[in-house]
Structure formats: structure tokens, C-alpha cells
Amino acid sequence: MAAKEASTQAPYPQVVRGADLDRRAVLYARVSTNNGQDPELQSREIREYCLRRGWPLVGEYVDLGISGAKERRPELDRLIADAHRRKFEVVVVWKFDRFARSVSHLLRALETFRALGIEFVSLSEQVDTSTPTGKMVFTVLGAVAELERSLIAERVRAGLRNARAKGKRLGRPTKHVDPAAVALLRSQGLPWRRVGARLGVSAATAYAAAKGRL
């Protein structure tokens, strides 16, 4: 009897038994290479999860041979576009790192989903944003992302302070424009835009050179 009970126990504590047919779900899976990696492992578990939840699975988005660090992923981009078209109400992934390339990327995606009324489920981390626990995780992720941004900004500021202390000049190098060349071109009736183009600078830079501001 005990063995029978154990076999029917749901592996994910947030599984809600019973039909929930008003929520259309989609899955997203990704593998970094095509060499021995099979996204079906992720997809199969997600399908089983949706079946237990009673969610009709209306779409599958799978990126093959795509590194997690890449900015553009065809299937993920298509998923986001379909989210804006309100084609589903739940996104289910196998693991956070299969979906997002960083905490800040994950948080931006979750904020987009929340604004669209779409829930997000990650099986491995057992996170479901429709539950109180999932909402708490969302808040924690926001705090972590803010800390990440603050640390990056502080490292940039420290680098700038160090460069200045060593006497390095920061910013774009100043372009030297001969005021006489500007005056000559202007005397030929050329507008400031044409003058700048001839000298390889902007019209504003040419004007500043003529006025002795460079």
C-alpha cells in the first residue's frame, strides 16, 4: 500500500490537481549544442507537468544549438512575440538557465509576462509565479538584479576613478579642425552640413571650430 501511495505522489509540490482548462500553456526548451544534447528530455517533463495541471499545451518553442549567452534566440524571440499576441497564459521551462542568460534578463522577461497576465513556471526550481511562493521569488530576483546593476555601476565608476588617477584622458578624442579651412569652405557658400562633411566632422563641430571653441 505504501509503495502504491509513493508511486502516485507528484514530484513537484506546486502541482495543482484538477482541470485548469482556462490556461493555455507553452513550453520553452534549449540546448547549447547538437552534439549529444536532446531537448526532448526537457520537453517531455514539461508536457507531463502540463498534463497533470490540466493545461492544454498549445505551443512548443525549442532553440537547438543556441548558447545561453547569445542575445538573439529565434524561438525565444518568437515566444515573446506570441506572448504579446496573447496566444497563451502560461510559460513552462525546465530550468531558469535554459530560458534566461542572466538574472536581469530573467527579471525583464518575468516583468513582461506579468504585464501581459502570463504566468511563468520553472520545474527544476519549483517556481510558479501564480503562487505566493512564486511571487516571493520574483521579488527576490528583483532585489538580486538591482544588486547586480549596482555592483556593475560601482565597478565602472571605480575603473574611471583609477584611470583619472593615472592621468588618462577619458571620452572621445578631440577632433582638431582648422578654422581657416572652415572659413574657406564657408566663403564658397557651403552650408555647415557640407562643411562638416568635407572636413570629416559634424556641422556642430565645424561651427564650433569657426567660433574658436575647439
The CATH number of the domain holding residue 106 is 3.40.50.1390
Whether 203 and 134 map to the same domain: the answer is no
pLDDT of 35 reads 57
- Max alpha carbon distance in the chain (Å)? 100
Whether 33 and 126 map to the same domain: the answer is yes
Q: Residue 28: which pLDDT band, with cuts at 50, 70 and 90?
A: very high
pLDDT of 83 reads 95
Over the Cα atoms of the chain, what is R_g? 28
- 91 has a pLDDT exceeding 90: yes
Q: Which residue has the higher pLDDT, 39 or 24?
A: 24
For residue 168, is it within any domain? no
- 7 has a pLDDT exceeding 50: no
Q: Residue 153: which pLDDT band, with cuts at 50, 70 and 90?
A: confident
Mean pLDDT to the nearest integer, 2-17 = 42
Whether 20 and 125 map to the same domain: the answer is yes
Q: The pTM is what? A: 0.57
Structural domain that includes position 134: 8-144
pLDDT of 76 reads 92
pLDDT of 14 reads 44
pLDDT of 70 reads 62
Q: Are 145 and 137 in contact (CB under 8 A)?
A: no
For residue 76, is it within any domain? yes
Mean pLDDT to the nearest integer, 194-204 = 86
How many folded domains does the chain comprise? 2
- 174 has a pLDDT exceeding 80: no
pLDDT of 37 reads 72
- Taking phi first (over 0 means left), then psi (-120 to 50 degrees means alpha), and beta for anything else, what does residue 36 get? left
Mean pLDDT to the nearest integer, 86-95 = 94
In Å, how far are 62, 188, 212, 213 from 176, measured between CA atoms? 53, 21, 11, 11
For residue 163, is it within any domain? no
168 three-state secondary structure? coil
Whether 98 and 184 map to the same domain: the answer is no
Q: Which residue has the higher pLDDT, 90 or 103?
A: 90
pLDDT of 65 reads 78
Cα 130 from Cα 114, distance rounded (Å): 10
**Residues that are catalytic:** 32
% of the chain beyond a pLDDT of 90 = 27
